[in-house]
Structure 1
């Protein structure tokens, strides 16, 4: 169903007292803590230098971009986020904290056009072009199990999970088109977090361009062999590939694929 969106944003403070605009404060605090402590994104930017280009597909509200620039000041980040509410937060956070980041309200897919995106106001990281209720529930159950969430809190949580979904038509472009139009010849890191659309993003990269992409980090939902297809694609383009499972998602479908050619 489609509902009228909220008009105001919440705010939280993260490291250094920085104000972050968001739609769901509790979710944002958890995501920031996950990004900061997992070590995977820190590994992905280790050794990069100011001026190196990161392409952030599924930029959400900019938390990954903030972490990247905390770790390596001066990185040039190109961020894509199609969800209007998340993009509006991203604009605010960019203006406050990300002077070397350029953002676009676009989805990345296999061909230009439009698509229907589903957005969940209480759990904004679930925004997706590929809705899968069972997968989202399985991953959230894994998080709750790992964090030992008590039964009474779970009973209170589930009625709000994925509540009041909103649908919006978003513009879709390809990564190849965007890199060509912007004159980007080398990418130090391609980061992808797009809720089951990860293969579409990778398939939108021109075959000739892969040698100029040094590193890739992709959140993969391992459904119907998707993890194997992602790792095979990257290995076929000459990357050394490692698959990691974060503790929160040990019983879920989410895996992190880290690939490098340097």
Structure 2
């Protein structure tokens, strides 16, 4: 992240902490070097594998939503010419291999409200949450007096335990969001992954 930030002109503060429902001295995170976007406090290899199988099955033949790298183009060709059973086994093997090369890191945990206070923020124009099954934890870490400061909210929700309904209920209770929209990418239809967009009055 620091390398990417040095390439731009934006003023960015990096906070090397996890975000959840309360402050803790240390929490263990599972990091997947080959798939950093899956890194989490709450690993669930089955859910990740199922979602990736759906994504690859729908996206790989046309590369929709994917990087057109040589590896992906070769995989796309394979998806179109090899028998389905072989492709499914190969994609599952690739996903399981990425998940197997995990590392564990510990870091402190904070809350959105603690960051708002520490940074002296009067307004949060956009709060983006993508925390792999810790969505409710992050939302529960927002104090009542800070909800009105959040103008827009964008989050990925893993609806594996009726989380989407719980998130919507919490947003209705805590925030005065005039608009709340839930969408699922066509490449992920049938998975537990949804995107939620909320906008204050």
Q: How would you bin the TM-score normalised by the shorter chain?
A: 0.7 to 0.9
Contact 2:49 2:92 in 1 (8 A): no
CA contact (8 A) 1:175 1:204 kept: yes
CA distance in 1, matches of 2:193, 2:96: 23
Q: Relative to 1, partners in 2 of residues 1:91 and 1:142: Cα closer, same or farther, differing over 3 Å?
A: same
CA displacement at 1:154 relative to structure 2:
2.0
Rounded Cα–Cα distance in structure 2 between residues aligned with 1:120 and 1:158? 11
Moved >3 Å (runs of 4+):
none
Is residue 112–residue 174 contact of structure 1 (8 Å, CA) maintained in 2? yes
Q: What does residue 178 of structure 1 align with?
A: 115
**1:209 lines up with 2:149 in the alignment:** no
Q: Which residue of 2 aligns with 1:238?
A: 176
Contact 1:219–1:255 (CA<8 Å) still a contact in 2?
Answer: yes
Tell me which residue corresponds to 1:225.
162
Q: Tell which deviates more after alignment, 141-150 or 223-232.
A: 141-150
CA distance in 2 between counterparts of 1:233 and 1:132 reads 24
TM-score, normalisation: structure 1: 0.63
Is contact 1:121–1:163 with CA below 8 Å preserved after alignment? no
Give yes or no for the alignment of 1:194 onto 2:106. Answer: no
Provide structure 1 residue ranges, at least 5 long, that are not aligned to the other structure.
Answer: 1-89
CA RMSD of aligned residues (A): 1.5
Distance 2:41 2:145 in 1: 27
1:104 is aligned to 2:15: yes
**CA contact under 8 A between 2:22 and 2:109: conserved in structure 1?**
yes
Give the distance between the partners of 1:121 and 1:257, measured in 2 at CA: 27
Cα distance in structure 1, aligned partners of 2:52 and 2:103? 20
**Greater relative contact order structure (CA < 8 Å, 6+ sep):** 2
Which residue matches 2:187? 248
3-state SS of 1:162 partner: helix
If you compute each CA radius of gyration, which structure gives the higher value, 1 or 2? 2
Deviation by residue 1:151-174 (Cα, 9 ceiling, x = unmatched): 445266244230221111111111
In structure 2, distance between residues paired with 1:172 and 1:128 = 13
Query: Of 91, 94, 100, which residue of structure 1 is paired with 2:5?
Result: 94
Distance 1:167 1:187, change over 3 A: same
Whole-Å separation in 2 of the counterparts to 1:194 and 1:247:
21
**Given the two structures, how large is their TM-score scaled by the length of structure 2?**
0.81
Q: Which residue of 1 aligns with 2:28?
A: 116
Report what 2:51 is aligned to: 139
Contact between 2:184 and 2:195, CA under 8 Å: does it hold in 1?
A: yes
Distance 1:98 1:132 in 2: 37
SS of residue matched to 2:14: strand
Q: What is the count of residue pairs matched by the alignment?
A: 173
- 1:104 offset after TM fit, Å? 1.2
Task: Indicate the residue corresponding to 1:257 in structure 2.
Answer: 196
CA displacement at 1:99 relative to structure 2: 2.2
- The structure that is strand-richer by fraction is 1
| Cα distance per residue 1:47-88 (max 9 Å; x no partner) | xxxxxxxxxxxxxxxxxxxxxxxxxxxxxxxxxxxxxxxxxx
- TM-fit CA distance, 1:100: 2.2
